[in-house]
Amino acid sequence: MIPEFRKAGISKLLIETALHFARSKPYEMTPALSPEVIESLRQESDRGAALDWKGLVLVHAQEGIQKLWRRFGFETDPELGVWDEEGISHVGMWRRLDVDKGRRASRPFGLVSPLASP
């Protein structure tokens, strides 16, 4: 990071904005599915509900800044170990966000999930 921008709150702003987006738009967190997969899920008993995002967030945190992520409620998963990304040691850290289950009905422009259709 550029020294004059350190301690300016940029990390906090970015993290809080990303978490707010994920929490308020859970339908954006699910993978795009092909029509074939959607039709297959319609045939299943849960009508694809198992694919609804349930708020679990994983970050690849640089090993040296786990403390930053802990301030935002993330916990290190020791089972994931430590790995190299671009020459920097990383660890996996998880957090579960509270997701409003009623958000599926509030998609932009009145869009409805094809998984939810009869």
Mind listing the pLDDT tens digit for each residue in 70-113? 999 999 999 999 999 999 999 999 999 998 665 443 444 334 44
State residue 35's pLDDT score. Answer: 76
**Helix intervals (H) in 27-92:** 35-43, 66-70
Residue with tokens 């403390």: 67
Does the pLDDT at position 116 exceed 80? no
Q: State the pLDDT at residue 51.
A: 65
pLDDT tens-place string over residues 5-64: 888 889 999 999 999 999 988 878 777 777 787 677 777 766 666 667 889 999 999 999
Burial class (CB in 10 A: 0-12, 13-18, 19+), 64: exposed
